[in-house]
Chain A
Amino acid sequence: AQKVTQTQTSISVMEKTTVTMDCVYETQDSSYFLFWYKQTASGEIVFLIRQDSYKKENATVGHYSLNFQKPKSSIGLIITATQIEDSAVYFCAMREDSNTNKVVFGTGTRLQVLP
C-alpha cells in the first residue's frame, strides 16, 4: 500500500534563506508520481511541483525545486530565497501508476518564514 511520510511538523526560517522539507514514500510500484502542494492560512490548497518517477532530472518551477533520491524513496522540496508569503503548510503526495488514481498525502510540514 502506498504511504507518504513527512517527519518535520514545523520549520522556521529567516526570510531570503533556503529551506528543505523532507518526504519519504513507500510503494510497490515501479512507476509513480510525486507532488508537493501548499495550503495557505486561508485554507486554499495549491499545486506547486511534480516529479514523475521515471524522470532522473529533478523538477524545478520558479523558486521551488525537488531533490529526488529514488533509491532512498525520498522527494525533498527545496525553496530558495524564501519570502514571508511562503509561510504555509506543505504537503507531499503520491499516486501509484497502477492504482485507481488514488492520491495520498503526507501529514504536512508547517513553514514559518520570519522577517
Chain B
Amino acid sequence: GPKVLQIPSHQIIDMGQMVTLNCDPVSNHLYFYWYKQILGQQMEFLVNFYNGKVMEKSKLFKDQFSVERPDGSYFTLKIQPTALEDSAVYFCASSAGTGGSAETLYFGSGTRLTVL
C-alpha cells in the first residue's frame, strides 16, 4: 500500500537545541498531519497542513513548533528550542483529499524524539 516515510527513526538531542523531523508523504496526497504519542498512549493531534498552509493546530502545537513543505519536498516539523516534555514519538500522516477513501490517513513509522 501507499507509504509515508519518516526520517530519522530516532533522534536524541539536548534540551534547547533545534530539531527537524522529516516526512515524505504519499505521492499526490494533499493533506498532511503531525501527531504526538507518548509511551504508546493516545495519538494527540498537533497540526494539519494543506496547500502550503496550516489548517488547524492544537494547544500542543506550541510557539516553538513550526511546519512547512517547501516546493513539494519533505513535510517538516521543526521544534526550536526543544524542551524535555517534547520527548515522544511523532507520527506523520497524509491523505489524498476529502470524501470516501480519500479520507484515509496513511501513517509513517514514527520518529522517536528523546530530549535530554
Chain A interface (Cβ < 8 Å from any Cβ of B): 33, 35, 37, 39, 42-47, 50, 52, 89, 91, 93, 95, 99-108
Contacts and interface: CB of A to CB of B under 8 A. Distances in A.
A45 B107 contact: yes
Contacts, number: 62
A42 to B, nearest CB: 8
A94 to B, nearest CB: 11
A44 B109 contact: yes
Given A43-B110, A45-B91, A102 B55 contact: yes
Interface residues of B, number: 27
Nearest to A97: B98
A91 B42 CA distance: 8
A89 B43 CA distance: 11
B112 to A, nearest CB: 9
Nearest to A6: B42
Interface of B: 31, 33, 35, 40-45, 48, 50, 55-56, 89, 91, 93, 95, 98, 100-101, 103-107, 109-110
* Chain A interface SS verdict (over half): strand
Given A89-B40, A102-B56, A33 B45 contact: no
Contact of A103 (B33, B100, B101, B109): B33
Contacts of A47: 104-106
Contacts of B45: 102-105
